[in-house]
């Protein structure tokens, strides 16, 4: 009886689920030069808080799904946060996130911290405290990562929903709610449930 209970408990551990790995590269959390005059560089505690908020956003967005969020560079689906994304010849505008879905091999992607930070500063409420903006940066990083993970998990499915600016599926982080509002899933949630299980 005891052995059966232990086996059942072990089989339900989150580690048995596929993993979404999010990590920050060294020195990723750097405020771009263009904004540092009005928003001085982040200190160690603020960087830790941004990382905590970003992971919390992932855990909340994927709550109830059979997926484990971890700081794991070898995860099945993975997103790294970089200071900035490299320029791509096929893209005329800078991007906050990018991903490649690899099917049975998982997926890989990245978030550009610089663009997220600039948008969080730009969209901050009038008179916002530094703490409010730091929280907004963390939220923004996490929400870009959520969007990229959805691309990786759902593969060739078009997840974008340009009609709802308060959705995770909205195709651009250039909006106030990305940093200071509440986001929700629309049509991608049932697809994620089907893919991951609940």
In a domain, 12, yes or no: no
Return the axis-axis angle of helices 130-154 and 188-196, rounded to nearest 10°.
60
In a domain, 80, yes or no: yes
Query: Does 147 map to a domain?
Result: yes
* Residue 34 confidence class, pLDDT cut points 50, 70, 90: confident
Is the CB of residue 99 less than 8 Å from the CB of residue 152? yes
In this model, does residue 6 exceed pLDDT 60? no
pLDDT digits (tens, 9 = 90+) for 114-128: 999 999 999 999 999
How many structural domains compose the chain? 1
E strand or H helix that includes residue 92? none
Q: Which of 188, 155, 156 is nearest to 170 (CA)?
A: 188
Q: Which domain holds residue 80?
A: 18-85+95-196
pLDDT of residue 87: 80
Residue 9 tokens, joined: 């408990």
* Residue 49 forms part of a structural domain: yes
What pTM did the predictor assign?
0.89
Query: How many other C-beta atoms lie within 10 A of the C-beta of residue 45?
Result: 9
| Whether the predicted pLDDT of 9 surpasses 50 | no
Give the model confidence (pLDDT) of 14-32 as tens digits: 458 899 999 999 999 999 9
Q: Is residue 38 part of a domain?
A: yes
For residue 7, being part of any structural domain is answered with no
Residue 119 lies in a domain: yes
Tell me, yes or no, whether 27 lies in a domain. Answer: yes
Is the model's pLDDT at 4 over the cut of 80?
Answer: no
CATH classification of the domain holding 56: 3.40.390
Q: Name, in order, each residue with C-beta under 8 angstroms of 103's C-beta and a sequence gap of 6 or more.
A: 155
Reported confidence tier of residue 90, pLDDT bands at 50, 70, 90 = low
Sign of the C-alpha dihedral computed for residues 90, 36, 113 and 164 taken in this order: negative
Edge-to-edge strand list for the sheet holding 68-70: 68-70, 19-24, 77-82, 107-112, 97-101
């Amino acid at each position: 009886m005891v052995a059966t209970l232990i086996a059942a408990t072990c089989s339900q551990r989150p580690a048995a689920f596929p993993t979404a790995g999010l990590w920050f590269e060294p020195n990723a959390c750097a405020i771009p030069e263009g904004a540092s005059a009005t928003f001085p560089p982040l200190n160690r505690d603020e960087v830790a808080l941004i990382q905590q908020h970003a992971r919390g956003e992932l855990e909340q967005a994927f709550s109830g799904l059979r997926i484990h969020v971890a700081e794991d560079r070898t995860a099945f689906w993975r997103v790294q946060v970089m200071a900035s994304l490299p320029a791509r010849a096929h893209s005329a505008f800078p991007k906050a996130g990018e991903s490649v879905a690899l099917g049975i091999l998982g997926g890989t992607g990245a978030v550009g911290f610089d663009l997220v930070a600039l948008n969080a500063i730009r969209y901050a409420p009038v008179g916002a405290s530094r703490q409010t903006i730091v929280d907004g940066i963390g939220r923004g990083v996490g929400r870009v990562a959520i969007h990229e993970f959805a691309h990786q998990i759902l593969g060739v499915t078009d997840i974008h929903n340009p009609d709802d600016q308060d959705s995770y599926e909205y195709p651009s982080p250039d909006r106030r709610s990305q940093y200071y509002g509440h986001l929700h899933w629309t049509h991608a949630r049932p697809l994620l449930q089907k893919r991951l299980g609940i």
